[in-house]
Each structure stands twice: as structure tokens, then as C-alpha cells.
Amino acid sequence: MLLEAPYRLFLFIALVGPLALWQDLHAQDIDSLLNNKRVYNSVSIGELPEPKIDGVLNDEIWSLGTWKGDFIQQFPNSGSPATEQSFFKILYDRSNLYIALICRDSEPDKIVDKLGRRDSRAGDIAGIALDSYFDKRTAFEFSITVAGQKMDVKHLGDWDFDFNWNAIWDGATTRTDTGWIAEIKLPFSQIRYANEAEHVWGLHFYRVLARKQEASSWDPIPREAPATVYLFGELKGIKDIRTSRQVEFLPYGLASASYTPGFTNEHPFDFNAGLDAKVGISSDFTLDLSVNPDYGQVEADPSVLNLTTFETFFEEKRPFFLEGNDVFDFDMDGDIPYYSRRIGSAPSFSNPYTHLTVSDIPNQTTILGAAKLTGKSKKGLSLGLVNGLTAGASGVAIDESGTEQEIEVSPLSNYMATRIKKDFQGGNTILGGVFSMVNRISPDSTSSQLLPTSAISGGLDLLHYWQNRNYYLQVKSIASQLNGSPEAILIKQLSQSHRYHRPDADYLELDDTRESLGGHGGLITIGKKGGQWNFLVQGQYRSPGLNLNDMGYLRKSDFLSQRMEGSYEMNVPKKWIRNYYLGLFQEAEWSFGAENTGNLVGLNFLIRNNALWSLKIISSYNFSSLDIRELRGGPALRNDPVFEGGLSLESNTAKDLSATLEYQYSALGMPNSMENTGMLSLTWLPVKRLKISGTVGLDQRKYHQQYVSTIPGNTSTEYVVGNIDRHTTSFTFRTELYLTPEMSIQYYGSPYYSVGQYDEFRRVDQSQARDISDRLEMLDLTYDPAGNSYSYVHNGETFQFGNPDFSFMQFRSNLVFRWEYKLGSTLYFVWAHDRSGWEPVYNPIGDIAGNLWGIKGNHVFMVKANFWFSL
């Protein structure tokens, strides 16, 4: 009965809310825009020489063609004329598009002129996007800032973008006394299109005035529109151009040296070389190949100390896997069947030997080669295929006598993923499928006996829009199958994703003889995301046997859940308020054994004033529910109700000095059980070419039933929890100096501290009881300082567990000099540094802060150069 009122509220939003949408007033009439699209007709430059790309429009070709303008605001005043005039012109020859942009400004001294990273939105910007597939869903965008910094982005439909997509093109800008000018040369080889005599493409021109936070476009796109590309204007007149089929090569050479004070490195110097190639096998499909590829990433992953049962997810940063990665998208609320970081990742070796200590396990496996095919046909068929082969890896095993031997920790493995999608009804219906597979190729090896010999997953999806894409229905399904030795499948059954050995899960059966494990999952969502009123209703599930983590990423299985959302957004600026957003949500979750594992209601509120400061407020309440994973295979543990509230204040990011302040408080259901999290970020641009930023994070968590240990006994298994007092402090510092748009020096440094102290240890008694005195029993402990462990007696039997106190510190940094000395060709000088320390004792952060600098760290110096050329 406790949930009855919240459920009625959100059921009302989901069912009655859509009726109010008939009164939803759009800033622009979508039907009118679709029926009256703007058209631009380009002309060929003929025999005239191509222009010098310098931002000065004095070349002969710019006397040809027609200037177009009349840009319309997208925000803040959607549908109103832009406050500053902009004009563009498009010309072409057989191999390139030539684009000129004139951006007038009545206050040219106030133009925000900043340099930043490639693909970062720094200062005033203008650009072009081309729907060269003319599928009304995807587009290639090329933009440039006043300072001459390039941006290239791939539109993925709706309001989704892929900022990792990069192309090779040229652009330059100049400042004038009436504004600024941009000149762009765009090779046809960098976009994809059908092989036709004459082309019709979607066309989008836009401009951003940073000081006003104003965005305008030549092709009007209302802020409330549910998607963007289908509202593009049209580009006509381009004919008799080359096909986009091309062969590109990117050979590289890399030399590195590593040094750790106090340690002898037998191989401190290393040299590597390889080749990446891009082959246009047709006008709209591309094959990427790598021979001895270098998949190193320049910037380290952020420091994380994970005390949860879930695997930490890290973003992909390696260039080969980022290229065309959007084609493989099959996201099911965070679960994905293809997670590219599995290829070349650290061996997932779990030592099964009690008489051996295994060390020197490499932090990555060697990728012998990889290939990727991506593209989309003129009939709307999208295809993606990637295959990577990784070499076996070995570690060092030491037995009780001290004898060392080499042991395989990862076998030779082949990874493959495929994705296919087909557009129907002008992109309003998309059907697709996904398939991924891992094969481990040394079945007689030790590591292969502990890992599945094959892991297969596949799924189908449907996305359908109606009423001008305001409403949508999305359906996804996924299934998986693991095959391997009984030892390997048993490890999977016991893993954090499954926990088949839970003693209170009658619906699960642990079988140490099975040689396969299968499961399935699904998701269905119906909603609206155009206009001011929007809603979402979603249901999904993952069966207990579903496993995607050999090739994909699965946070958890064994659940059924539903979610409902309702929101309202005001985007018409008032006297003081620019816009605001209010969203309400509710979600609930159950295990396949009908255990209620989540009941949550909450709200989000965001308001922005006309000085471009914003305030965000979040609040949620999670009713008491069961956690079937906290005890790492033990019974379901009752969680007390949790209230969370937080706010975030952000200043005007267009200013040279900006800041963000965040605070969140969580009441964890018991007195003195809570979490406080604070974060302050500052960004300062003292001059155009220098950016300095820093973020400080502070977190304190006091929680009364943090998992400590599972202790097998002669007649029973004990589960011990404790009250944790954890303090985490982190600081991230970045300095970015841009000598030119193509040459930069960047420094990144991040010290991280996390310490935890436990007390009030309890054994789990009646794990699902709502009263904590019934749920947990306080322990009378004996401490052994020699072994840094505790012991207690229960039912005449002695149980022992280690002291869980900890002190962890880490510092990661790198210094990078980057120079794009030729289009597509880059030279890097890198110094990377890493040091970390762990102690099984608690020390206050203030006492150990300086100790981090006394730890011997690892230094890596690297020089890398690549050279791009095409045929």
C-alpha cells in the first residue's frame, strides 16, 4: 500500500499526459517545415583553379554561385530571425566541396575567440552538415571555430551525435571589422554517398554565438523538434563527381622507453611499427584494416576504487575502434553485446591454484590484427563487421618452494561482432540485428579450461516513429550462449552477474557438470520526445543465464523492471528566465524469483536564467527493497529506504572564467548512515591559447551494512557486514596550450585518495528482515594484530576474517605534445607517469597525502609519428 500513491501519480502522467499533447504548441509547425524545405543549388568551378584555404575569399571561384542567408534561431527564441546575419556559398569540382561562410557581427570586439581541443565547442562556431546518404537520419558535420579549430561530428538520428568520428579536411578563418569568415575544403572521399550521376543531399548550415548562447540555422529546426536530420534543407546541382571510393594509408612508427626507480627493466626500450589502411570497397562501404596496430591510448583512465559488485565501465579511446563505432550501437539501458575494449583487454584470469602464486599478468593482450567493414547503402541498409585476433599471454607462477614457471593466463582468441540495420518508410521504421562471438583457440591450455571456449550472443531490434517522429516505439531482444569446460561454466555461474549459488534462490540451480550456459533479455519502450510535454513507458528483463561479458558489457542479469517518466520543458525566454525543465520518474525492479529489488520515485528540475547561469535540483526516494548481489552469492539482503537530494550550480561557460558547483546528500536509512558528495570545477582562459581547468571532488560515505566477508564453516556459511566510514578525495588538473590549431601541449594530472575504516561488525542473521536488529547480529570480536584479522565464535565454531580497513592512493598523469604537421599526419611526444599504493590499514587522508610522492612510480616516454596518404 505504501507505493500506491506514487504509482497512481506516475500512471496518470503516462496515460493522461499524452492527451494534453494535443495542446502542445511548437515554435514551428513541423508539417509546414517538411513541406517547404529550403533548397540550395551548387555550381561547379569548372576549369578554375581550386582556392587557397586561408579564410580570405579573394580567389576567382568565389565570384561564382549564389550567397544564401536568412538564418533562423533554434534557441533561445526558436523560430525568430537570428540576431546577427550569416551567409554561405557552396561550390564544387570533381573531388571536393568548397564552402564559404560570412558571419556578420554588430559587436565584433565581443566575438568569443578561443582555441580548444579538436571537436570541443570553444567560442563562436559555424559549420555545415550533409545528409549524403539522404536517409533523413545520419549526417556528416564539419564545423570550425573563430580561432580556426576544427570539429567533425556524425549525426546519428534524433539528437544523438558521435564526436569520436574524425575526417581529413581543411579549413581556415579570418577576423574582419564586421565579423569573421570561414573557408572550408571538404574532399568527397571523407563522406559516403550513392554512386549516382546527380545528387540530392540533406543540407544544414548553423552558427553559434557563444556570448549569447544563441544557435541559428539556415534550415529552420525548432528546439522542440524530436529529431534534426529529417528537417534539413536540400543541396542540389552536384553531378559528375568522383565516387567516394578511395584507398587511404596511415603507417606509423613508435619508440618508447620505460623507467621505474629501484626496479630493473630487462627491456626498457621498445620500437614498434605498423600500418592502418582504409579501403573504399564501394561508394558507400569502407573496409578498415590494421597490420600490427598500435592501440595505445594517450590519456589514462580515471582512478576508481570499486567496492560494488559491478564491473567498472570505461569509455573507448582507441582510434581504430572509435572509427564507425556508431554502426554497432545496440544499447539496452547500458547493456551492450559489443564492447570494443574487450579486444586487447587484460587477461580475465582467476587463479584456481592454492599452491601457486601467479604474478606478472600483463595489463593488456597483444592484438595481432583487426579488420572492420562499415557503411550504408542508398537503399538504407547499414552494415558493420569487426574482427580482431589477440595473441596468448603468459604470467609467472611461483610454487611453495619458490620455483618459478611460465603459465598461460590468456589463450589465442578471436573476437567478432556484426551489426545490420535497414531503414523503411523514409527512416521512420528501422529493423536490425546484432551478432557477436568470441572463440578461444587453445582448448588444452590451462587458461582455456577456466574460460568458455566460445561465447555467442545475438539480438533483434525495431524502432518505429510516427506523427512526424514525435512518438516512437522501440523493441529490443538479446540472447547468449556460452560453451566450455565444466570448470569454466561453473566460474560463470558463480560470477557477480549470476550468483547461481545463492542459498535462498530456489529458482536457480547450480550445476558443476554443465558445459553451457544460456540466457535472454528484452526491452520495450514507448514514448514521445517532441514538443514541451514528453513521456516514456519502459519495461525490460534479463534472464538469470544471460551473459554478454566475454564480448560485450552486462551490468547484471536476473531482473524484470519497469520505468515511467513524464516531463515538461519551457523554452520561450521570459524577463528573467531563459528556460526550465521539470521531469518526474518512477521505476521498480524484481528478480526472477519475484523478490522486489527496487522501488524508486524522483524528480529532476533544471532552470537557466538570461545571464546563462543554470541550477539543477535532483531528488529521489528508494523504498526498502532487497539486494540479491551485495553478499556476493549469499542470501538477498534487505536495504533500508534511501533518500537522495542534490543540486548543481553552473556559471556562464562562455566567460573566460567559469565554475560548476555540485553537492549531493544521501540518507541511507539509519541514523548516522549517509553519504555527502561535493565537487567544484573551475575553468580559466587567461589568454586565447591557454586553458587551465581543475576539478576537486570530496566524498564521505557512512554505511551500516557494507559487505566485508564470506566465511565458509563446517556446518554453515557466515556473511559479515560492517559499518564503513569511507573518505575519498580526488583532484584533476588540466593545462592546454595551443600554439596553433594544429599544434598543442597538454598536461593531465590526477591524484586520488580513498581510505576506509570499519567498525560495528555484524553477522547476517535474518537477511530479509525489515528490523535491523533481526536482520543483523552484532559480533563480539577478538583482534589478532599479528595477522591483522578478527575472529568470533558462533554456535561453538570459530570464524575468522581479515581486517577490511584500507588506504589507497594513486597518481596518474601525462604530458603530450601533438602536432598535425600535415593533414591527417600527426607527431606525438608523450610522457606518461603512474604511481599507486595500497595498505590494509586505515590512515586519514591528511596523514598520508604526502606519502603518495614517496612511492616509486613508472615513467614511460614515447615518440610516435604517423603519415597519412591516399591513392
Cβ contacts of residue 594 below 8 Å, gap of 6+? Answer: none
pLDDT of 329 reads: 87
In the block, cell 550504408 appears at: 376
Give CA–CA dist 817/737, Å, rounded: 10
CA within 13 Å, CB half, 57: 23
Residue 9 pLDDT level (bands cut at 50, 70, 90) = very low
* Mean pLDDT across the chain: 88
pLDDT band at 658 (very low <50, low <70, confident <90, very high): very high
Listed in sequence order, the DSSP H helices in 477-565 are: 486-494
| Residue 448 near residue 442, CB atoms below 8 Å | yes
Convert the pLDDT of each residue in 187-216 to its tens digit: 998 888 887 889 999 999 999 999 999 999
Three-state DSSP class for residue 48: coil
Look at residue 302 in the predicted model and tell me its pLDDT: 54
Q: pTM value?
A: 0.84
The closest of 382, 460, 384 to 427, measured between CA atoms, is 382
For residue 378, CA distances in Å to 63, 84, 154, 155 come to 34, 37, 18, 17
In angstroms, rounded to a whole number, what is the distance separating the alpha carbons of residues 57 and 38? Answer: 25
Q: Greater confidence, 493 or 293? A: 493
pLDDT at 567: 95
Burial class (CB in 10 A: 0-12, 13-18, 19+), 8: exposed
Residue recorded with cell 509547425? 29
Beta strand residue intervals within 260-403, DSSP E:
269-280, 285-291, 357-359, 367-376, 381-390, 393-398
Most distant CA atoms of the chain, gap in Å:
97
Long-range contacts of 679-683 (CB under 8 A, 24+ apart): 682/657, 682/658, 683/653, 683/657, 683/658, 683/659
The mean pLDDT of 359-376, rounded to a whole number, is: 81
pLDDT of residue 22: 41
pLDDT at 14 over 60: no
Cell of residue 720, nine digits: 559479515
Give the pLDDT band (50/70/90) at residue 401: confident
The rounded distance, in Å, linking the Cα atoms of 192 and 313 is: 32
Q: Over the stretch 846-869, which tens digit does the pLDDT of each residue have?
A: 999 889 888 988 998 999 998 988
pLDDT above 90: residue 18: no
* Residue 142 grid coordinates: 564539419
Residue owning grid cell 500513491:
5
pLDDT digits (tens, 9 = 90+) for 260-289: 877 666 667 888 888 888 888 776 788 888
Give Cα separations from 494 to 456, 497, 500, 509, 546 (angstroms). Answer: 19, 8, 6, 11, 13
| Euclidean distance between the first and the last CA atom of the chain, given in angstroms as a whole number | 71
What local confidence, expressed as pLDDT, does residue 352 receive? 64
Asked if residue 191 lies in contact with residue 199, where contact means CB atoms within 8 angstroms, the answer is no
